[in-house]
Amino acid sequence: MALDYVLPTFAKFHTPDLVVSGPNSGWTLGPFIYTLSGTIGAAITAIERGIPAISFSSGNTDLAPFSWVNASTKVGLQDPATITAHLAATLLQSMIDKAAGSPVLPKGYGLNVNMPYITSFSSDTCTNPPFVLTRMATNDTTRAVYDKGTGLFHSSDGASDQSSIGKALPKEHDVVKSHCMSSVTVFTVQLDASFHGQCLNVTDVTALVPVLVQPNTPLTPDGNLTVVVVGNSSNSATPSSSAPQPPATAVTGPGSKARISLTALLFGLGVAAFLL
């Protein structure tokens, strides 16, 4: 609605340079939530149309009235919503500065940012969390768990990840739930095979984020960053020869024969009906 009506009607342009979704209350952690979250959904909608997008979520769910925003809390600190907004704006400006007039992210890519619980209602324990480069919980099974007390469902982490990629970057869950840190996860939207070469053009996710986002954290086992390879190392947008390619000619299989037989049957019934 924003891209097809609001902007062309009121802003007189169709394509923004960047779409920012959020910050919204409640975390969007792990691959399970990517099909459910409206915050990430809005970002994905933009990315699918070639527009860079970043989604922001926060661990705070005890929201204050809008009239409290920008006012001090009982302990003399900024409202959590204000702090969250400042954090988001700081990261965004850092991304824009890094791009220096170029697209903020490559085509088909987005960022999912989760901020921890901001404690400014009661203390300054966590009011300025650093940004840490993370990954989704690969191979984790996230389940929908029913809460009898609230009558609602929430997601629950599954088994721990033992894959090799798990040794490279910390998981979103571990960063925001156990530490005063904000997770920054790079993801791709590749529903169309025409994106193949473009999405595989980036070999190191650390190259997509500004220095504000720390690629090396105490959560990595050996204290050193291992590059996460998400594609080939070529700068060319041409797909690698090892990638599966579409067949050069159409293949006639059982499905095609079935359609031909059905067409012949319907034609025969039509002729019979005409003669009768």
| Structure tokens that stand for 61 in this block | 């769910």
Token pair recorded at residue 109: 């890519």
Question: Closest by alpha carbon to 155, among 142, 168, 165?
Answer: 142
d(CA 64, CA 82): 11
Q: Could you give phi then psi for residue 112, rounded to 5 degrees?
A: -115, 115
Sign of CA dihedral 69, 71, 74, 76: positive
Strand order in the sheet with 182-188: 19-25, 53-58, 109-115, 182-188, 131-134, 213-214
Q: What is the DSSP string of 203-224?
A: --GGGGS-TTEES--TTSTTSS
| The pair of three-digit structure tokens given for residue 37, joined into one six-digit string | 């979250």
Coarse DSSP helix, strand, coil percentages of the chain, rounded to the nearest 5 percent: 35, 15, 50
Strands (E), the chain: 19-25, 53-58, 109-115, 131-134, 143-147, 152-156, 182-188, 213-214
Catalytic residue among 57, 58, 182, 183: 57
**156 included as an active-site residue:** no
* Catalytic residue numbers, as ranges: 57
